[in-house]
Amino acid sequence: MADMGRLTWPVKRKDDFLRIVAYIALASVLIFVIDISTPLGVMIWILYLFPLFLTVYLSWKYAPVVMTGVFILLMAASLFLSPRDMAIEYALIDRVFFALVLVISSFFIKDYVANVEGLVSSEERYHTLVDWLPEGIVVCRPEGGILFINPAGIRLLGDFREELTGSDIIPLIDPAVKELFRQRISQAALGARMNLDKVRLIRKEGTEVTVDMILGKVFWDKETAVQIVIRNSSTN
């Protein structure tokens, strides 16, 4: 899940949302003040692209479209408030052209925000599903280092998430099948779907549980990993 203790994307915490809105407002006001203080021929309004791209950090997908409307109104106002150094008709043509650029950019940003929000929503649904599964789900590196484990997996392998995530799953495997497990996990990392039945797990506190395992290849944080679905054999 996303770490909401710092500024993340999309911004969901109220403080971060207000902070980005404040950045956009301050940048827009500053650009407008500079624009009306300079001659018509100086294209200060190009700087409105910066606060427009800041809307990427807001969780509201219509923010870029709304801000584009605001920027166009500010550009229209500056057309009459800026000192005249050229014919107003030419300045109007420049601003209309850039307004089109802003509109096109805003729709690209809106689509991007909508796509990423969809991915975040899918990830949240996946995490909820995995957390509630009765089977243990373990994602580990091909050499055995645990990258992720769900609550059911914690109950099967041990008691504390901190002791398992980042540790090695292989020492928990029955010594009699450790070599076979290494072979299966290596084959799974290459793309094969592997099964291991009636595997005895030896927890750190010394208790044992017999499980069935299904191993398959996944990608985790841009690296090849193996997902292991673990089911308690004694409940079958």
Q: From the first residue on, what is the mean pLDDT of each consecutive set of 10 residues in the chain (236 residues)?
A: 41 72 94 93 91 88 92 94 90 92 92 80 79 89 90 79 74 91 93 91 83 93 91 74
* In contact, 200 and 210? CB cutoff 8 Å: yes
DSSP E strands, the chain: 136-140, 146-149, 194-202, 208-220, 223-232
Per-residue pLDDT of 182-228, as tens digits, reads 999 999 999 999 999 999 988 877 788 899 999 999 998 889 999 99
Structural domains of the chain, with CATH: 14-130 (no CATH), 133-235 (3.30.450.20)
Distance CA 16, CA 146 (A): 32
Per-residue pLDDT of 39-55, as tens digits, reads 988 889 899 999 999 99
**Has this prediction a pTM greater than 0.85?**
no
Exposure of 126 by Cβ count < 10 A (0-12 exposed, 13-18 middle, 19+ buried)? Answer: exposed
Distance CA 11, CA 164 (A): 30
